[in-house]
Every structure is written in C-alpha cells, then in structure tokens.
Copies of this chain bind each other. A is one copy, B any other.
Amino acid sequence: MTKLKSELYQPLSSDVVPRYAGIATFMRLPYVALEQATDLDIGIVGVPWDGGTTNRAGARHGPRQVREMSALMRRYHPVLDISPYAIANCADLGDAPVNPLEILGTLDGLTAHYRQIVGRGITPLSVGGDHLVTLPILRALAECHGPLGMIQFDAHSDLWDVYFGGSEYAHGTPFRRAIEEGILDPNRLVQIGLRGGLYSAEDNAWAVEQGVHQFPIEVVDERGCDAVLADALRLVGAGPTYVTFDIDCLDPAHAPGTGTPEVGGFTTLHAQRMLRRLRGVNLVGADVVEVSPPFDPGGATALAGATMLFELICLLAEHRAATTG
C-alpha cells in the first residue's frame, strides 16, 4: 500500500462517501483557510472573477463548477504513475478575494493574496476566472522567482494592447502587461494552440518582436503534439516556469462553456498528451482558466477543466516531491 505523506490532506474516500455527496471542494480535498495552512505543498485556489471579459461573461462561476465536477477525479494517475496526494500535501484554499465591480482593486487584492500563498511556500494551482486573473498570480510568483517562463495552452495569444480605445486590463491583454512589467520572459513564453481570425495582419507583430514562441493549431496538427512539446521544453529550459491552461484551447466540442470559443481546437486527449510531456519542467505554479458555467450548465467543460487540473496537480506534486522532498 502506498505510504501517504500526510493522512490529513487526503481526498474524501469514494468508498465511504459517494462521489455526489458531501460539500464540494476541489478534488474532494479538505478545505484549509490560508492563514492556517502551515505544511501545505500545493494549494488549489479559486479565482471567481471575470472582470476582464469583453464579450461573454460567466467565468466568475468557474471555480464552483470545477469543484463540483472534480468529484469525479480519482487519486492515482496510471499513465504518469503518480499518486499526488501521497507525495505532496494538497488542499483547497477556497476562493481568492475579488470584487466584481472593480478591476484594478481586484488585481491588487489578488496579487496580495498570492504573495501570501507564495510566502507560505505553497505552490499555487488556480482555477479561474477569466485569463486576466493570471496576471496577479505571475506578479506574486515573479517577486519570489524572478521573471518567469510560461507554457500557455490557448486559442488566443492574449497579447493585445488595449480594448475600447484605452482599457489596458482585459482578458486579452494579461501577457502584454506581464512582459511589459518584466515578470514574464518573452523568450521563455511558449503559446500552443493559437487559432481563429485576428483583428489585422499586424496583430502578432509585437509578439514576434519580443521573441515569443507561437505554435498555432495548424502547426501542431502538422507536426504532432510530441514534436511541438519537445520544442516547448527546450524553449522554456530549466528556469522557473508557469503553466496556464485556457480551456478555450480545447475545441468547443470538448469545452463549449467558455467565453470566446474558437472551433478547430484540441481534443482533450491531445491536451492530456501535451500536459504529460511537461514532466521535469521547473514548475512554480499553474492554472486552468475561462471555464464559464452559464454556457455549459451540464458541466462537460468543467469536467475537462477538472481533469486538466488533475494532470497539473500530478506534475506539481512530483516536482515538489523531487525538489523539496
């Protein structure tokens, strides 16, 4: 029988409590208030906020539905041969503080909250929320680790400059801001799955100038997931790296519940295959964003999100066990 790092931080057993029962937490893990989290390795954090959404809002409801559907997750990953909860102390840290009526205030509040998480030595695994929530997470992590590399699974680059003639903080701009702020290293930023129409032929010019590495879906389709991920690993190298998984990288057939769906995306099988290639990366945090329940009340999108969350927690747990063991 597997020896557990801690009996305290285990998911509710489905052999005792049926999966549909009990209060919904991420992965059925115990809820722990941040101020009481003293020996955690990985904290799963909800960020219920979509204040940066320019079209279809709803990602604010994402954490609730991902918690609900994550009850279907089990404890052991047979392909990676990892039992995350046996090797790392994991818990649901509840939701980060947000104000649906404030953009700048919320971004500052989130930065402060993640600063505390990072300060307690916890690796944050977050569930959005729209993609703008990744910006304050990167800020807090960069304070600790310096400029980060990032592997971004996404239909959109989120490198646009401004919306509506002057709004700098929107779900399409976080990584422009992060590069400008010096917290994200464009040469270690790898974007995978980009597709869909653009505003103009110049949209990607800035990214190219900065040295961002973009793998549109057509390239992945042509070269295959494995080849692209091999490149990605080489490009992010050994430095501290964040993984952000925008659920809209998936095809709308697999993830209809999102604000800006783009047809022609990844299957969940592709996504799993790619995430599993991230083994060995120097991971400092990760997130799954843009699950928008009002556009998928049945929860298929949230199930996809929860499954990617399980892939990520396996990677983070293995990395934590290897480095801090």
Please give 10 more A-B residue pairs, beta carbons under 8 A apart, in addition to A19-B54, A78-B197, A197-B310: A18-B55, A23-B24, A58-B294, A75-B198, A79-B218, A83-B201, A251-B267, A251-B269, A256-B300, A261-B300
Q: Which residue of B lies closest to A263 (CB)?
A: B268
Please, how many angstroms separate the alpha-carbon atoms of A267 and B265 in the complex?
Answer: 9
Complex CA–CA separation, A31 to B24 (angstroms): 11
Which chain A residues in 260-274 approach chain B with CB under 8 Å?
260-265, 267-269, 272-273
The 8 A CB mask of A69-84 against B (1 = contact, 0 = none) is 0001111111101010
Chain B residues near A16: list those with CB within 8 A: 97, 164-165
Q: Is A191 an interface residue (CB 8 A)?
A: no
B-chain residues with CB within 8 Å of residue A221 when the two chains form the complex:
269, 273
24 sample A-B contacts, Cβ–Cβ < 8 Å, listed by A number: A2-B200, A16-B165, A18-B48, A18-B164, A20-B61, A23-B25, A23-B94, A24-B24, A57-B60, A64-B68, A74-B197, A74-B198, A75-B199, A76-B198, A83-B200, A83-B201, A99-B164, A101-B167, A101-B169, A251-B253, A251-B267, A252-B268, A264-B268, A295-B298
User: Which of B76, B201, B267, B294 is A56 in contact with, Cβ under 8 Å?
Assistant: B294
Could you say how many copies of this chain the assembly holds? 6
Given contacts A56-B294, A263-B304, A294-B294, contact A254 B256 (CB under 8 A): no
